[in-house]
Amino acid sequence: MSEDLLRVSDLRVSFRVGGLSARLAGRATEIEAVSGVSFTLQRGSTFALVGESGSGKTTLARTLNGLQPVRAGTILFEGQELQGLSNAALKPVRRRMPMMFQDPVGSLSPRLSVRSLLSEPFVIHGLSDRDLSAEVTRLLALVGLPRDFADRYPHQLSGGQARRVGVARAIALDPVLVVADEPTAGLDVSVQGEVLNLLNDLRDRMGLSMLIITHNLHVVRQIADRMAVMYLGRFVEQGETEAIFRAPHHPYTAALLSANPEPDPDRVHQRITLPADVPSLLARPSGCEFHTRCPQAQRRCAVDVPAPVAVGNSRLTCHFPLNT
């Protein structure tokens, strides 16, 4: 249980942006979408990644899967370094670390029937000698879709049904770590419960580990042992989920958790509202990068970069942590 399955150290990923004119004008032409991220994921555990839209969560997940080149840092998965591996060398890795993409319908090729979509992982990995129709039936049952859905095409599925097909594809082979980007977006609360119970079962039965990206904080609380909060490509706080929900230490985490909409029309919310101006990755703020929006900020926040500190079991970067 305590064995490290994945160890990511000081990972950096960047994109070139802007055309020739921007480069000639001497404007920054690279953004670091993932900017020095470190964490470990233990075998059999679930790690949730939350944070601002555009903060680099998907980029981080794609990089783990070798879909985006590493600029600096290391990714150690089952003891093997992944950065810099060729596509061919990554193939067996992807079988052990399948990824579910953010966009449910768009990530399924429109021309392939559900049957072909579910057979594809076997074909790609040279396992077409298996009884594919039995595998398809098994997978459909596993994700709670009727058998005759094998003959449907993606556009004939509702958003939730497409999502279940995505789960089925991800768990088709022999995964040890499922990287799931918004695995329950577009599902109603009951089906969402089913998918999460399914993922939890697979974790218990097959010792599956999960890295889950989600904006649904209720989901995080129900499924993740540990969580990290991202802001501008960095982890501003990481630790045990329950502890963070009970007492967030970083002001951004506190604002995020306070925003969670509740199913009660008469609820009076006590929200921490953040100023709307989201900083640009092209011009990162000085000092603590959250200081431009932080309700807690003092003068020093604009100047000094906060070093990571441990508070309780959490690690965070803030000069004036809350709830200490």
Partner 1 sequence: MTVLEVKNLNVAFHTESGRLEALKQVSFSVPANRSVGVVGESGCGKSTLINAILGLLADNGEITSGEIIFEGDQDLARLGPTAMRGLRGQSIATVFQDPMGALNPVLSVGRQMRDIQYRSGLSKRDKDARSVAMLRKVRIPDPESRLTQFPHEFSGGMKQRIAIAMALMMEPALLIADEPTTALDATLEVATIELLKDLQRDIGCSVLFISHHLGVIAELCDEMIVMYAGEVVESGTTREIFHDARHPYTQKLLACDPARLSQRVARLPTIAGTLPDLRRRPSGCVFQPRCDRADAQCLTTPPNAPIGGSHIAHCWHADVSLGAMSA
Ligand X SMILES: Nc1ncnc2c1ncn2[C@@H]1O[C@H](COP(=O)(O)OP(=O)(O)OP(=O)(O)O)[C@@H](O)[C@H]1O
C-beta of 122 vs 231, nearer to ligand SF4: 231
CB of 129 to partner 1, least distance (A): 29
Is residue 245 involved in binding ligand SF4 (CB under 6 A)? no
Binds partner 1 (CB under 8 A): choice among 7, 9, 12, 22: 22
| Residue 321 near residue 288, CB atoms below 8 Å | no
Q: What radius of gyration, in Å, describes the C-alpha atoms of the chain?
A: 21
Is residue 256 involved in binding ligand SF4 (CB under 6 A)? no
Is residue 142 involved in binding partner 1 (CB under 8 A)? no
The tokens describing 303, both together, are: 């100047």
Is residue 259 involved in binding partner 1 (CB under 8 A)? yes
C-beta of 54 vs 287, nearer to ligand X: 54
Residues binding ligand X (CB under 6 A): 15, 17, 33, 53-59, 102, 155-161, 186, 281
Binds partner 1 (CB under 8 A): choice among 53, 86, 270, 324: 53
Is residue 237 involved in binding partner 1 (CB under 8 A)? no
Which range, of 15-23, 161-169, 195-203, 292-300, touches ligand SF4 by CB under 6 A?
292-300
CB of 23 to partner 1, least distance (A): 13
Binds partner 1 (CB under 8 A): choice among 14, 46, 119, 216: 216
Can you tell me the distance from the alpha carbon of 177 to that of 211, in angstroms, rounded to the nearest whole number? 7
Among all chains, which residue has been given the structure tokens 């951004």? 252
Is residue 166 involved in binding ligand SF4 (CB under 6 A)? no
Strand-by-strand arrangement of the 4-16 sheet = 30-42, 4-16, 72-77, 80-81
Contacts for 254-259: CB closer than 8 Å, 24+ residues apart: 254/322, 255/295, 256/50, 256/51, 256/52, 256/217, 256/229, 257/217
| Residue 309 near residue 315, CB atoms below 8 Å | yes
Terminal-to-terminal C-alpha distance of the chain: 30
Buried b (16+ CB within 10 A) or exposed e, 94-120: bbebbbbbbebbebbeeeebbbebbbb
C-beta of 176 vs 196, nearer to ligand X: 196
Helix (H, G, I), strand (E, B) or coil at 251: helix
Query: Hey, which residues between 159 and 188 contact partner 1 (CB under 8 A)?
Result: 159-161, 163, 181-182, 185-188
Binds Mg ion (CB under 5 A): choice among 35, 58, 184, 314: 58
Can you tell me the distance from the alpha carbon of 229 to that of 239, in angstroms, rounded to the nearest whole number? 9
| Residue 253 near residue 318, CB atoms below 8 Å | no
C-beta of 9 vs 222, nearer to partner 1: 222
Binds ligand SF4 (CB under 6 A): choice among 66, 165, 251, 281: 251
CB of 39 to ligand X, least distance (A): 15
CB of 158 to ligand SF4, least distance (A): 41
C-beta of 93 vs 150, nearer to partner 1: 150
Is residue 319 involved in binding ligand SF4 (CB under 6 A)? yes
Can you tell me the distance from the alpha carbon of 78 to that of 164, in angstroms, rounded to the nearest whole number? 27
Binds Mg ion (CB under 5 A): choice among 92, 106, 146, 159: 159
